[in-house]
Chain A
Amino acid sequence: MTTGSPSTTSGDSVVRAASVDVTLNGIPIVRGATLDIAKGEVVAILGNNGSGKTTLMRALMGLIPHHGEIEVFGTPLARFRDWVRIGYVPQRGSILVQQATAREVVASGRLGHRRFFLPESAADRRAIADALAEVGLADKATYPFVRLSGGQQQRILIARALATGADLMAWDEPLAGVDHKTQELLAGVATRLKSKGTTIVMVLHELGCFRNLIDRTIVLADGRVMPPGYNHHDHEHPHAGHRDVHGGHEVDETERPRTHRTGLEVG
């Protein structure tokens, strides 16, 4: 695993963000985020609680408003319509289902392919069955979603994203609160996706079982993308050695200077 340095040529960029700011309820959450994720890369967005990693992912998916440039598959987000290419897994817990079966939840992953008022096609049914089998829950298809264990619910949400057939996966905290066995199973799912050339972006708290398959990490701290080499667990004194740690990052910052020039600077 290497940190930082995107191994991209501009042509195969899947997600590109330049100077992205996100403000929620008047508070800046993501600040000047710039990143570039290439086709087939497996990238983890890391950071502590409140570092803005989930907010950044939601902005990249077009779920919340942002300032700055975001391109998905080379198209500016505002004009992007090819949503079937994205398999999004939101954080577990936001989903409201009272009595839906596991299969019904997975089936909603096919709606990007289905037309209004038309029933499931044979391809839809196959994709749903395959996705359930991939996460090892084919036998739980008719089971109520709310009665599954936390780890099983997470697997169903991953299966829903798999059912889309997307070639960009965006998983928000897939390992949060799931048992070790499920973590290993999900790492297997991600490995198989990677071998098929799927691009995967994951918001993670810790690399855990995904350590070996992640190509690159993007570390967020206080809403900013940290330069390569920054260890997000090494943050006891975030302002110590400020210049050394931030290095070239200050170049981006000059777009929105925080101090006004006095005109008296030398050179």
Chain B
Amino acid sequence: MEWLSLEFMQRALLAALITGATAPAIGTFLVQRRLSLLGDGLGHLAVAGVGLAFLTGTAPLPMAVLICVIGSIGIELLRETGRASGDVGLAILFYGGLSGGLLLAGLAGQGAGTLAGYLFGSLLTVSAADLWVIGGLGLVVLAVTLGLLPQLFTVSADEPFARSIGLPVRLLNIVVVSLAAITVTVSMRTVGLLLVSALMVVPVATANHLVIGFRTGLLTAMGLGAFAAVGGAIGSYYLNTAPGSLIVVIAIAVFALSWPISQVLQRRHRPIVEVEDPVDPIGHELAEAHLHEHSEDCGHLVVQHADHLDYVHDGHRHAAHEDHYDEH
């Protein structure tokens, strides 16, 4: 455990913890809006900010935050007016950001090696000043996502309804993308700009498997993200690899483990199917004797049939009748 006494490791672990918790928090809203890959695009855009910082000799983190937030607001306004509906425009913007960043870094005399620390994370590069910025911005992201959770949820779930109750829809949409942009750039020292999107999406998908409820899911995803980020940072110290790759591999491994659990949970929450034009049951046909007692959570497909529920069992619909089941 000698790494705990290393100052750069303490900073790296704190940065990982903050990143791991914030990325899934904002990612939950992006996944809800089917914008899972927006984080990836914003990461590309942030590379331009890093390149520009190299060229102008300023600190990379604030510059990347600035470029990325401006870009994200521009994207949102384009999306709102319907002009960014084709994804080609976004692709050009994002790859423009990546190539521009690489070009600017090259012009500044920085090789691809320096940039790799930002693309895939690097434990050694978290300075004390960076940690303050990461901590401050992470706090802002968490305060806003948790504080405005019901509003942001409503806007991303049902925009027309949100508008109808008078929520400032445009402002809240801009808040979501700006927070996503901040989260992406804050993550560049730990998980890296090319892999941060995974941390925004994978823990959310895992939580989706494990728990019910938007708020519960968001909090669970934060915990899973923090676990993967801290675990990956510690592991990469021993393996001497870029932390980003290990963080994402851990997150995906946890996702894979959650799969069988979700299958069991989903069986219990199968939707009730309705018979469109129910005909009242004809006759009174006894089902074969069976000991199983059907219930809404028993895993058998439930069909709403006129005024009662049928359970699909061995290709028949069983309806409870006094002490036995009828075939419907």
Chain A interface (Cβ within 8 Å of chain B)? 58, 61-63, 81, 83-84, 86, 88, 90, 94-101, 104-105, 107-109, 111-112, 114, 116-117, 142-144, 146-152, 160, 164, 170, 178-181
Contact = CB atoms under 8 A, between A and B. Distances in A.
13 contacts: A86-B164, A88-B161, A96-B34, A96-B156, A97-B157, A99-B208, A99-B213, A144-B213, A146-B271, A147-B271, A148-B271, A151-B274, A164-B165
B158 A114 contact: no
Contacts of A109: 165
A164 B273 CA distance: 29
Contact of B164 (A81, A88, A143, A149): A88
B151 to A, nearest CB: 6
Nearest to B165: A112
B147 A98 contact: no
B215 interface: yes
Contacts of A62: 163-164
A150 B303 CA distance: 12
Interface in B193-211: 207-208, 211
Contacts of B158: 90, 94-96, 108
A149 B304 contact: yes
Contacts of A107: 150
B322 interface: no
Contacts of A104: 153, 213-215
Contacts of B157: 95-97, 100, 105, 108
Given A107-B150, A111-B150, A149-B274, A84 B32 contact: no
Nearest to A120: B150
A72 B31 CA distance: 36
Given A108-B153, A114-B150, A63 B213 contact: no
A4 B112 CA distance: 74
Q: 4 tightest A-B contacts by CB?
A: A83-B166, A88-B164, A108-B154, A112-B165
B321 to A, nearest CB: 19
Interface of B: 31-34, 147-148, 150-151, 153-154, 156-158, 160-167, 207-208, 211-215, 217, 269-276, 278, 304, 306-307
Contacts of A96: 32-34, 156-158
A178 to B, nearest CB: 8
B212 A99 contact: yes
A98 B209 CA distance: 10
A23 to B, nearest CB: 14
A63 B161 CA distance: 9
B213 A179 contact: no
Contact of A58 (B160, B211, B213): B160
A39 to B, nearest CB: 19
Contacts of A101: 212-214
Contacts of B270: 147
A62 B161 CA distance: 11
Contact of B147 (A84, A117, A143, A164): A117
Contacts of B273: 149
A100 B276 CA distance: 26
A54 to B, nearest CB: 11
A64 B160 CA distance: 9
Nearest to A144: B212
Contact of A150 (B148, B150, B274, B278): B274
A104 B276 CA distance: 28
Contacts of A151: 274, 304
A61 B150 contact: no
Contact of B161 (A90, A98, A116): A90
Contacts of B217: 98-99
Contact of A108 (B150, B211, B272, B275): B150
Contacts of A108: 150, 153-154, 157-158, 161-162, 165
Given A99-B213, A101-B214, A180-B278, A116 B151 contact: yes
A147 B274 contact: no
B245 to A, nearest CB: 27
B214 A83 contact: no
B165 A83 contact: yes
A86 B162 CA distance: 12
A83 B162 CA distance: 10
A95 B33 CA distance: 10
Contact of B304 (A58, A142, A143, A179): A179
A58 B163 CA distance: 11
Nearest to B211: A99
Contacts of A100: 153, 157, 213-214
Name the residue in A62, A96, A178 with the highest tally of chain B Cβ atoms < 10 Å from its Cβ: A96
Given A100-B157, A108-B157, A181 B164 contact: no
Contacts of B212: 99, 101, 142-144
Nearest to A83: B166
A63 B304 contact: no
